[in-house]
Structure 1
């Protein structure tokens, strides 16, 4: 039996990171958890890796990812002294084959475990606007079937309906429906013959559907899968010269990154979204500036955070005085962003008040958002020591929670249960805790 060779490459990267063995193991465990693969590595595992023991195949991407995040540049498997991974889903931007494969795997229950393990990457390549405009000109045409605006309208209507289901009930059941629609209806449309104006409109409608499907994947905690949908949405939005969906998708990617704690990446994406929409209307400007403010605040930049949240407030005032051309960003959304900025900058009481304002302004249709954001409100009330008030808020969460099928809502309720558990001698805490157990059973 041959003697193992020490992994000098991995050792060199670990030294560059400045991490201890224990810190490195903890980072790998954290990324594994993000991807739905619970890990329990400690410093002894890292020592074995450096001595030449090959990490398990499923764990190698996590090792590469944590080093990429820590060092601020893409790290390959080879650089880390690990075998190159086998190729996975197609991401070729010049055909619709990647859409077909992505959708097929998402709609197939037997593939859910593979998709769940897809890794969120801070090193993912984000195409800039000039790089994606006209990129899909190679989509095949000339099929016997010819499509028109009726088919485009059907895609848009289906996307709107799925979005309504997601808002009310969460995306757990709606996302596979969207994936099936993508594979069985949209891809054949993209391959059919059509006038150029119809083709552009179809690409735009498809990019909306891809953005929504990515958003629902985020809600379910499938962050690597969400990135794949988001990048495809960027590509098709560029091909359609659809600035609105392109910028909306970048903003969604920024929100995903900041919620996962990748603040530098979130800021880069938020600023890229703003830069790509120089002629945005006031509601879109508020939409983008709110995310910029959140990202700057999370990064510790107080000056820019306050400047951009002020810009968002001014833009929202202008937007509310006009027709709601882009109604998905409403005053309740802005109040949520104000809360996030206040919290990141250390104003916890102000953050709580802004979340209460967000709840007051939110339409009852947005049930999934109500569960998530009111759960966040209860968490922050507990941080302030307001146990009774937090229990009342948790009760409000549980009014809607049984009606929502959402991974993020499940996570929020589990977190609240853990936070309430030490206070079970309090009658209100015990009552809401028992109710939450029944609701989540």
Structure 2
């Protein structure tokens, strides 16, 4: 069962306690001739993913709608159709994403959030790659968002990425999530033109990707996966295929860590195919070498060597000044080190040793 972060966030926004919500439900049920005996424990179970029976979800929507002075639906409280989360409108996605950020900031333990598996794990990548696209992401109401706000988010992403590389994900995650809630959410709910909105979603996606890396670093892979999925949806809304390819590479890397080799290969192919000419040489190199490692893990020798060759060919076209900021991790020696890993998986120890020595030399020259 997956935590119902949407219900959790709305109850918090409404200023209700668990016991207070249960009392209100019991009162409405009694007045309608359908008495119930819920308490704070019952609400706690719903927050953990259980769904109350019968008409109770509708009562919850009615209570929250009245309290928040806006219409709350079953989807808004996380009790809609099981398949209603994929392909949701952008506004619905933003509500779900910000609910996760708030829950994470408020210290609710999301580190045990389960990994999404099967078709649901593949769906975000498929949806990024395929139509429909967001034809207009402008928003007419709320405080005006301008170019300076987008610049602030971009600056914050660089700051938190640097922090992540210096002190790790456990420490950085608390800070980047707080920034998402306190500074990014108000901007997403502001008013902006289509052009500014796409730049805003690109910047917000960069921050969500950092939060995902921090979750990965904290061994909270289910949580990291959700942040990566959010970053990918924001990439689609921004129309930045290059950034989307980078987020797909993060999912490939996670699949590799989890030894989901076929999924890693499929995601990498999607990234290479969909980002196309927009993808940078460094990212293309990384996707090829991760495919090589996945094939090596499956003992598919010919395919592994083919992808290794493609990675080396593409690496010759890397120009640091032309690369997006997210690919700074592709430092000298990294390619050789990863090729050595692939060869070790294949049992080719002598070539692996040569690549490992080359990686050490390249790192020494760059330091």
Q: For the Cα contact (< 8 Å) 1:132–1:236, is it kept in 2?
A: no
Q: Aligned residue pairs: how many?
A: 277
Tell me, what secondary structure is at the counterpart of 1:277? helix
Distance of aligned partners of 1:146 and 1:289 in 2 relative to their CA distance in 1, 3 Å threshold:
same
CA shift, 1:324, in A, is 4.7
- Superposed displacement of residue 128, structure 1: 3.4
TM-score, with normalisation over the residues of structure 2? 0.68
1:198 and 2:229 are equivalent in the alignment = no
- What SS does the aligned partner of 2:161 have? helix
Change (3 A) 1:331 1:179: same
1:362/1:120 CA distance change after superposition, 3 Å: farther
Indicate how the Cα distance of structure 1 residues 273 and 252 shifts in structure 2: closer, same or farther if over 3 A, else same.
Answer: same
1:119 is matched with 114
3-state SS of 2:333 partner = helix
Matched residues in 2 for 1:100 and 1:365: separation? 40
CA change 1:176–1:357 in 2 (3 A) is farther
Instruction: Quote the offset at 1:262 in angstroms.
Output: 1.1
Displacement of 1:135? 7.4
C-alpha distance after superposition, 1:242-262 (max 9, x if no partner): 111211111111111111111
Contact preservation (8 Å) 2:139, 2:192 = no
- 1:340 has 2:336 as partner: no
Find the aligned partners of 2:209 and 2:364 in 1 and give their Cα distance.
Answer: 22
Aligned to 2:321: 323
- Residues 111-138 of structure 1 show CA distances to partners (whole Å, capped at 9, x for unaligned) of 12xx12111233123223224631783x
> In the TM superposition, what is the alpha-carbon distance from 1:157 to its structure 2 partner?
0.6
> Structure 2 vs 1, CA of residues 263 and 198 (structure 1 numbering), >3 Å: closer, same or farther?
same
Deviations 1:252-301 (A, max 9, x none): 11111111111111111111111112103422321221222222222222
Equivalences for residues 260-409 of structure 1 within 5 A:
260-279=258-277, 280-320=279-319, 323-326=321-324, 327-362=328-363
Find the counterpart in structure 2 of residue 134 from structure 1.
134
SS in 2 for 1:318: coil
Q: Where do 5+ consecutive residues of structure 1 fail to align?
A: 1-56, 62-85, 367-441
1:227 alignment partner in structure 2: 225
RMSD of equivalent CA atoms: 2.9
Question: 1:173 corresponds to which residue?
Answer: 171
Partner of 2:90: 94
Report the Cα offset of residue 333 of structure 1: 2.3
Once the 2 structures are TM-superposed, how far is the Cα of residue 87 of structure 1 from its aligned partner? 5.7
* CA distance in structure 1 between the aligned counterparts of 2:246 and 2:104, rounded to whole angstroms: 22
| Larger mean Cα displacement after TM superposition, 235-244 or 122-131 | 122-131
Residue 241 of structure 1 and its aligned partner are, at CA, apart by 0.6
